[in-house]
Structure formats: structure tokens, C-alpha cells
Amino acid sequence: MANGTPIPRHPVVAVAGATGAVGREMLTVLEQRSFPAGRVVPLASSRSAGSTVPFGGAELVVEELTDRSFDEVDIALFSVGASVSKRYRDAVVDAGCVMIDNSSAFRMDDDVPLVVPEVNGADVAGHSGVIANPNCSTIQMAMVLAPLHTASPIRRVIASTYQAASGAGAAAMRELHEQTEAFLRGEELVPQEFAHRIAFNCIPQIDVFLGDGSTKEEWKMVVETKKIMHAPDIEVHATCVRVPVLRCHSEALIIEFERPLSPGEARDVLAAAPGVAVLDDPGESLYPMPAYLEGTDDTYVGRIRRDPTVPHGIALWIVADQLRKGAALNAVQIAEELVGRSGQATED
């Protein structure tokens, strides 16, 4: 914990933002993975306080998120947006609780580990009360890059993303539904959650534009990958696009290595990597697709082939459910890492 006290074997876990899309998924993942929580406390704004959320075959009453919410809490999973996470950081840490934050608020802070447990799980030991969940697109890319980087150092990555509407929240998913129905009825579409209509369209903007012409989402994929993989010399260039898909982000990656790595070798490396599943049989039209992978936990890889435009290049396609591995699942896995490491420290 932030004050040096180990996490108990059956910690009290709070979920801040429990009524949102990711918060609800966090509750689902906690239940599905039989996380050893002594108690689960759903938290949300005053508007949602008093409502209920399903957990463990029952309904939990949502409590209002306040500065005192963490007095008896060991781990707080946050999915409330960067400004709210910043607002409550001191309250969480001062209570001796560990915040696992899903927003971008603290990801690049030097004293905050940015963790994908299969890649850099040991980094949780360096926290000072806050651990950051990476950007959803970065998580699934790191899941694939890390084992390949161990096999042959990576020099450069070109990433093109095809990101689902749910990455922008529950309201964005509703907008995709409603706009699709309105489009088919021939009605006028009025964007609210996106800069342009999302139905039957692709929007090459996620988050705000920066001075160099890239978007903040694209910047996140660059800097977060370097931090997670402890590889500051890897060059990453990303183009992030919102597409009319409900769940699961897809990415096309072109990876340049320092040494030769054949598609077969890459396939074997990825097949052996924890949390990665290879779906790659062109003869059977087998490859990952978002429509069929909703609710799954792995990062799926296919279309693994040589890129002949560089000396040592591999091209591939990856899909993952960004509400699961890209957000809720990764956060819960970080909590599991905390509990596991605290247990080891106690035994030692």
C-alpha cells in the first residue's frame, strides 16, 4: 500500500465510476475471476448514488464518491475521467489505499508505474499509491510487441488503429446504435459524442489534435509503449481511427526488427506468449475480427506475414476487447498482481 502496509489477502475493493461502461465491466471481471475481495464497494457521482449494480448474484447499492470513501478501502479501481482522478488522488493515497487509475491523468508521471501485467508486472512494486492503466490501444499493442521484442529487438512500429465506439463510453455506443437506425430510416444525423457522424463512417480523429498534427491518442501510443516496455529507443508512429464497431479495437502493425525474424518464428513466439492467441490460417479465412471477439480476454493476432519493404519487417493484425483487456481486465490483473506480491512479501 501507499504507506508501506501490504495489501491484505482479502482486500476491500472500491470501484469508482461503477455505473459507467468500464466500471460495470470491472465489477463483472472481479466476479468472473473470483477476485479475493473481502468486500466490493461501488462508487459514483451523487446522481447515481442509491442506484444498484449487479455483483455476485445480488445487487450492490452505489455509494456517493467523496473524500471519505476510501477510509476502509485497500484498492480503488478508478474509471471516472482524468479530472476526477486528479481530484481524489490525495484522498485515496492519504487513506492508505492504492489507486489503479484507468484515465490518462498519471500515466506519464515518473512516480506512477504504467502496467500491463504480462509485460511489466514487476513495476507495481514501485508505486507510491497510484498505478496507471495504459491506454486501451497501447495495451493490446504492447501485449504483442513485448514478446517479439524479446525474440528480436524492435526498431520501429507503424500502427493503424480501428477503434470501436465503446472506447468513447456508453453514450458513444448508444449514438452508434441510434445513428445507424436513423440513417436506415433516411433521417438527419446529429453528432454529439463524436466530431462527425459515426454510423457508416470512419473518423480519423480520436482525442484532440496536437501541434505536430497528430492526435493525443496517437501520442499516447508512442510514449506509453516506450514506458511500459522500458524501451525508449523504439520508434512508434500511429494513426488512430474511430470506426462504426461497438466493441473491440483492431490494429494493423508493421514492425521493423534489428535482426531477421521470420513470420513462422513470430507466430511461434506469439503463440507461447501469455494472454495472446494466434488466429492465423489464410486458407481457412481465419483471422481475428471484432464482431466475434466481444467479451473475450486475450489479445488475438493474425495475418502474420513478411513486410518486404524493410530489411527485417513483419506485418500483422491484432484485435482485443478494449473494455476487457484494454481497460477493466487489465486493471483487475494489476490488483491481482498487488495482492500476489504482497502475499509473497508476507511469506518471505
Contact 247, 183 (CB under 8 A): no
- Cα distances from 13 to residues 58, 76, 126, 166, in angstroms, run 17, 6, 20, 25
Task: Give the model confidence (pLDDT) of 59-118 as tens digits.
Answer: 999 999 999 999 999 999 999 999 999 999 999 999 999 999 999 999 999 999 999 999
Amino acid at 303: R
pLDDT at 2 over 90: no
**138-322: which CATH architecture?**
2-Layer Sandwich (3.30)
How far is residue 225's CA from residue 269's CA, in Å, rounded to a whole number? 19
Give the total residue count for the chain.
Answer: 348
Give the pLDDT confidence score for residue 5 in this predicted structure. 63
In which band, very low, low, confident or very high, does the pLDDT at 270 lie, cut at 50, 70 and 90?
A: very high
- Beta strands per DSSP E along 141-286: 154-163, 235-242, 249-257, 276-278
Name the CATH topology of 12-133+327-347. Answer: Rossmann fold (3.40.50)
Residue matched to cell numbers 457508416: 200
136-151 and 216-228 are packed helices; what angle lies between their axes, rounded to 10 degrees?
Answer: 40
How far is residue 115's CA from residue 229's CA, in Å, rounded to a whole number? 9
Task: Give the model confidence (pLDDT) of 130-171 as tens digits.
Answer: 999 999 999 999 999 999 999 999 999 999 999 999 999 889
Contact 163, 272 (CB under 8 A): no
Q: Which residues face 249 on adjacent strands?
A: 320
Averaged confidence pLDDT in the chain: 95
Percent share of the chain, pLDDT over 70: 97
- Most distant CA atoms of the chain, gap in Å: 67
Percent share of the chain, pLDDT over 90: 93
Cell numbers describing residue 117: 501485467
Active site residues: 136, 249
Whether the model clears a pTM of 0.75, i.e. scores above it, the answer is: yes
Question: What are the residue boundaries of the structural domains of the chain, listed by start?
Answer: 12-133+327-347, 138-322
